[in-house]
Structure 1
Amino acid sequence: MIRYTFLVVLIVGLGFCGMAQNKALVFQSDFGLKDGAVSEMKGVAFSVSPELKLFDVTHEIPAYNIWEAAYRLFQAAPYWPPGTVFVSIVDPGVGSERKSVVLKTKSGHYFVSPDNGTLTLVAERLGIDEVRQINEAVNRLKNSEKSYTFHGRDVYAFTGARLASGTIRWEEVGPKLAPQVVSIDYQKPVIENGIIKGNIPVLDVQYGNVWTNIDQTIFQKLGVKLNDKLHVIVYKDQQTIFEGDMPYVNTFSAVPEGQTMAYMNSLLNFSVAINQGSFSEKYKVYSGAEWSIVIRKTNR
């Protein structure tokens, strides 16, 4: 009985401790792939543990674009299993007083990042369990103390690899902070008097389609049916950039080539596009916390 109890406790304990140790480490940055920066980070991680499995969200975040970094984590993270560690480096304030942190979400995911707004959306969507500040006296690449401009390699990749591999326990990341992160203000999706307001967090960059944060649940409250006409207004900092009517359809082929349309994207969020054209390029509509959209059914 004693042996059996010990075995059960050991199995349960390993399962609990293993939450941060599925050995998956996922990188994101605005570095691009033209030089060796991404390779350096992965080399550091692999040196910590050759058993790590290294992946990428993207390294094509526009330079210094913290908001897009926030959205790409929000887009990708829910599709990864609990215990996955993400390392995100879009860090225009590198070397400043901004904190280097690891966020553990209620979903069991870990995010290693500067606390500069990058964690806004995953904190909202997945919930904050704990936040710890990285103790660089322990969790920093050896002999990197005189390097002040590449914390992505020297601090974040190193700490992320140590956490993902089980080299350190969660508590060894560093001191526990208040359960909050720096948050970027943006228009959250709301519906009032038959009008929905939302944000344009990102573009479908390959095609110029405009994605919003208005999810299917909120959109359905408008009572829109296929082929109904919608009136759409896009603002940047309260200035009207686009205004027009378009049909709500399921597929691009439902409208003639070159025509505007509204649809649900692959994340089941409301989006607008031009069939075989770039809505963004034609109407100069882009994305970010300062971009918002208003939609309503037309009477036509």
Structure 2
Amino acid sequence: MHFKQLSKFFAAACLSTVLAAQAHASNALVLLTDFGTSDGAVSAMHGVAFGVDPKLQVSDLTHNIPDYDIWLGAYRLYQTANYWPQGSVFVAVVDPGVGTNRKSVVLKTNGGRYFVGPDNGLFTLIAERDGVAELREIDENVNRLAGSGESYTFHGRDVYAYVGARLASGAISFEQVGPVLPSASVVKIAYQKAVRQGDTLRGIIPVLDVKYGNVWTNIPKTLFDELKIGVHDKVQIRILHKGKQVNKVVAPFEHTFGGVAQGKPLVYLNSLLDVAVAISQGNYAKQHRIESGVDWEVEISKAK
């Protein structure tokens, strides 16, 4: 064999190897539940994924969502998903209605990420921010762990982990998940979206920075900028629960926690570039008995 022929042969062989590797390449599988890790539930889900494809990369977003807290599960997906590559598959299980007639779905976003789980509001914020390219109902007649047909209370293992792993590994295509549903039919949780009303911004406290007690809002930097508040300017924050004022504070807007003395409050932009309030090296939520969720509203204005 001549040198040129040999070179072409090796080039073709290398290309074939690369294409074969690409054909078998899998996307990341990311798990979120309210199961905790004190028993075998999460390990069982990992085991199902391993059984589908031992090479599949499986990561845990969190398994510490409070019991049945669909809203917080929705927010943690919103907080995290866009830092994962296109094609990533998220299995989300906060499912107080497991075994009932609520639908099991896979949602594909406009950004090309997939979300597997119950259609009970878990995908509210993902659908709103990223858009729904297509929604499919899982056909459990063909997409269910073998031998699990008599199990009605662990869809996280029997349906969602199984379908998510098969989708991430390429064992099935999105079209093989099941029939198409109207994109607008995604179940959504009602909440106060961030709005401007005159010189006041209104929104909610969707979540707390649980480690440090910082109070996060859903008011984005783009809306906050409309108030023309600069660094060190004073900001008034009112926090209400079910319409009743729980806390009111005037604090400076700062870029960092070090902008105020230890123990003093400040307003800042969190890692998602949403407005938040904190105490430097303290726990604002604990000190003022503040929690989070759709019933916790916030009003922000420039202090006079």
TM-score (structure 1 length as normaliser): 0.92
Give, in whole Å, the separation in 1 of the partners of 2:294 and 2:77: 15
* Structure 2 residue corresponding to 1:218, chosen from 209, 213, 223: 223
- Contact 1:22-1:84 within 8 A present in 2 as well: no
Are 1:126 and 2:113 matched, yes or no?
no
Q: Secondary structure at the match of 2:108?
A: strand
Structure 2 residue 253 is matched with structure 1 residue 244: no
Note the 1:1-300 alignment, pairs <5 A: 22-180=26-184, 181-299=186-304
Displacement of 1:23 in angstroms is: 2.3
Tell me how far 1:273 sits from its aligned partner. 0.6
Alignment partners' CA distance in 2, 1:36 and 1:160: 19
Structure 2 distance, partners of 1:256, 1:80, is: 36
Amino acid at match of 1:100: S
Rg (Cα) greater in structure: 2
Contact kept in structure 2, 1:101 and 1:134, CA below 8 Å = yes
Measure how far apart 1:81 and its partner are. Answer: 0.8
**Conserved? CA contact 1:210–1:272, under 8 Å:** yes
Amino acid at match of 2:279: I
Per-residue CA shift, 1:111-160, capped at 9, x if unaligned? 00100000000001110011100001111111111111110000000000
CA distance in 2, matches of 1:118, 1:289: 14
Matched residues in 1 for 2:292 and 2:245: separation?
14
The one-letter amino acid of 1:102's match is: V
Matched residue type, 2:37: L
Partner of 1:9: none
Aligned-pair Cα RMSD in Å: 1.6
> C-alpha distance in 2, partners of 1:85/1:244?
41
Q: Is the 8 A contact 1:23 1:51 kept in 2?
A: no
**How many residues were matched structurally?**
284
Match of 1:10 in 2: none
**CA offset at residue 192 of structure 1?**
2.2
d(CA) in 2 for partners of 1:109, 1:221: 32
Q: Which segment drifts farther, 237-246 or 86-95?
A: 237-246
Letter of the structure 1 residue corresponding to residue 225 of structure 2:
Q
Look up the equivalent residue of 1:276 and give its one-letter code. Answer: Q
> Cα deviations across residues 151-178 of structure 1 (Å, max 9, x unaligned)?
0000000000111111111111011101
Aligned partners of 1:205, 1:89: CA distance in 2, in Å? 20
Hey, what does 1:11 align to over in structure 2? none
Displacement of 1:255 in angstroms is: 1.2
Q: Deviations over 1:192-241 (max 9, x none)?
A: 21111111111100000011111111110000011111111011221211
Shift in Å, 1:22 = 3.8
What letter is aligned with 1:240? Q
TM-score w.r.t. the length of structure 2 is 0.91
Structure 1 ranges of 4+ moved more than 2 A: none
Question: Aligned partner of 2:86: which letter?
Answer: P
- In structure 2, the gaps of 5 or more residues are 1-18
Q: Structure 2 CA distance, aligned partners of 1:231 and 1:135?
A: 51
Q: Residue type of the partner of 2:299?
A: V
SS in 1 for 2:86: coil
Distance 1:90 1:81 in 2: 23
Deviation of 1:275 after TM superposition, in Å, equals 1.1
